[in-house]
Amino acid sequence: MAATGFSAAEKEDAIALLQTLIRIDTTNPPGNEREAIELVAHRCRAINLEPTLVGATDDRPNLVARWSAGEACKFDRPLILSCHLDVVPANPEAWTHSPFSAHNDGTCIWGRGAIDMKGFAAMGLAALTRLRRENAAINRDVIFVAVADEEAGTKHGSKWLVDHHPELLGNNPEYVINEVGGFTVHQKGRRFYPVQVAEKGVAWIRLTVRGTSGHSSLPTDDNAVVHLAKAVEAIGKTQLPWHPNDEAKRFIAGFAAPEGAVARALSPLLSHPKIGPILLPLAVSNPSRRNSLEAILRNTANPTALKTANPINVIPSRASVDIDGRLAPGQSAEDLVAELRRVTDRLPGIRAHYEILEESPATSFSPETPLFEEIERTLLEADPGAHVVPSIVQGFTDSRNYASLGATCYGFYPLQMPEEIDFASLFHGVDERIPIDGFHWGVETLTTVLRRFLT
């Protein structure tokens, strides 16, 4: 890899910024991202990038800072570097070090947001600072974006920004670099770098079940709450059908590629709608890996929020549950409702009504672009012998909103992870922490990709 040679002072500065960001509690809800956004704004001004702060409410602004290519501009459509500064809640009692202490144990920086994703804010700013100081003649505009409210659905963050200020995002950006990808996955002595090119869709659904209202001092066999409990149990236990998709097949094939001929031959069967569900438990022993593979091959539906409005002494005429549904590529919320209806229609005496509260389909981007090629080439130079795999993730990110502007979005937040730390468990998990050396490796790698791609 072309040496970018970050000095010790630059490295310390990036870590210090990350620690300061972690110490600002941006737990969402409520978020309160302003202080963190202001800090990032200050750092943008320090490199002569004038930030714009806009948001639906005063305490939850989003930041956009545009580096104009000026005369060197060859490509009209900008590249966006995007991070979110809100974090999911953390229960301090469960943590080894307080989640907002940004404790440095000499190997890792601990804290909520270290990985997801204040680390990328610090990394992106370090890369831009370096390129600005080098007076890099960039060939397209680069837009640095730090948003609020990713973890609770993006309503005040990237969704608001895309809906209200697409011009700040270049109206029609060509590329977005965001989470989730670029980190090391260790498997059977090999190292893989998934780079996200797709994410599952979202279908938030309300299931309402009806019964007969009455005084709860009397016996009844038509109680909506009891019906709902049966429906929830049936949905919870069901195995929804598999929907093989190109994104999942490519992901599975990417991990099988360096294996022997048998594994390569078996891997397409994993996504087979009939054989896959039987083969997967036999082929993949790690439960969390098995779970995430299964999630990209089918729709999922998890009942999460039970609702009745009644007091304790009235049998309600209806009871509801909200279901967090996630869609495989090519699937719609209607498709998922049809699958759920087949489950609840089998239950005697239950009248189920489904309402789609929110829907956004899966997003998918081609890995055959000059940016992806540059990411792959640089990763392979930075970690010789590793493998790069275009990946699909089961969650959603801000990328789903940027996709509506026509951008190709990649999850590329380079982090070299040691084998003993399981990256997936850190995401929203207890004892979230980022390895210091792996972070510096990421700063170098990201800077190299940007320098090569933009100049």
Q: How far is the CB of 432 from Zn ion (least distance, A)?
A: 11
For Zn ion, give the closer residue by CB, 179 or 247: 179
* Residues in contact with Zn ion, shown as a per-residue x/- string from 158 to 197 under the rule CB under 5 A: ---------------------x------------------
Nearest to 326 by CA among 365, 295, 354, 280: 295
* Residues in contact with Zn ion, shown as a per-residue x/- string from 76 to 115 under the rule CB under 5 A: ----------------------------------------
Q: Is 444 in the site for Zn ion (CB under 5 A)?
A: no
CA dihedral for 423, 300, 410, 403, sign (positive or negative): negative
Q: How far is the CB of 26 from Zn ion (least distance, A)?
A: 12
For Zn ion, give the closer residue by CB, 152 or 283: 152
For Zn ion, give the closer residue by CB, 26 or 408: 26
Q: Is 149 in the site for Zn ion (CB under 5 A)?
A: no
For Zn ion, give the closer residue by CB, 67 or 412: 412
* Residues in contact with Zn ion, shown as a per-residue x/- string from 374 to 393 under the rule CB under 5 A: --------------------
Q: How far is the CB of 115 from Zn ion (least distance, A)?
A: 8
For Zn ion, give the closer residue by CB, 116 or 376: 116
Nearest to 221 by CA among 349, 123, 118: 349
Q: Is 117 in the site for Zn ion (CB under 5 A)?
A: yes
The residue count of the chain comes to 455
Q: Is 199 in the site for Zn ion (CB under 5 A)?
A: no
Q: Are 251 and 389 in contact (CB under 8 A)?
A: yes
ω into residue 117 within 30 of 0, thus cis? yes
3-state class (DSSP) for residue 417: coil
Residue with tokens 């500064």: 85
Q: Is 116 in the site for Zn ion (CB under 5 A)?
A: yes
* Residues in contact with Zn ion, shown as a per-residue x/- string from 218 to 257 under the rule CB under 5 A: ----------------------------------------
The contacts found for 35-41 with CB under 8 angstroms, 24 or more apart, are: 36/85, 36/118, 36/146, 37/61, 37/62, 37/63, 37/85, 37/146, 37/148, 40/85, 40/121, 40/125, 40/146, 41/65
Strand pairing of 352-360 and 408-411?
unpaired
Q: Cα(298)–Cα(294) distance, rounded to whole angstroms?
A: 7
Name the residue number minimizing CB distance to Zn ion.
116
Q: Are 151 and 30 in contact (CB under 8 A)?
A: no
Instruction: Give contact residues for Zn ion (rule: CB under 5 A).
Output: 116-117, 179
